[in-house]
Amino acid sequence: MFNRGIRGATTVEHNDEQEILQATAELLNEIIAENGLDPEAICSVWITMTTDLDAAFPARAVRQIDGWELVPLMCATEIPVKGSLPRCIRLMIQVNTDKSQREMKHVYLNGANILRPDLAK
């Protein structure tokens, strides 16, 4: 078994609590569906947001998903690089799996699909 990372990102239109929570839940649910994740196999989840988002802790959305309330979560601020994508939420999920790196399905939604067009649908 290996410890693999699954990346995901999304954007929101406004610095709004409900919008941040909804976008985070949507992103995680898409990552779960694409990778068939079981919360028992998750080591931890890193969540970052750009500095223009401060209306909510996105970890709240993760804890509300059935089975994910005990998964270790950490929120942080994304490095504020000039010209970077605004209003962006990113996830890095560390999972124990037998799958190869190539089998990991990374998810980029909304405006975040420009971050990794090679991986976005």
Q: Which residues are catalytic?
A: 7, 63, 75, 78, 90, 108, 116
User: What token pair was written down for 53?
Assistant: 């988002």
Cα(111)–Cα(27) distance, integer angstroms: 12
User: What token pair was written down for 29?
Assistant: 């649910």
CB-based burial of residue 19 (10 Å sphere; 0-12 exposed, 13-18 middle, 19+ buried)?
Answer: middle
What's the distance, CA 79 to chain centroid? 16
Cα(54)–Cα(70) distance, integer angstroms: 24
What's the distance, CA 98 to chain centroid? 21
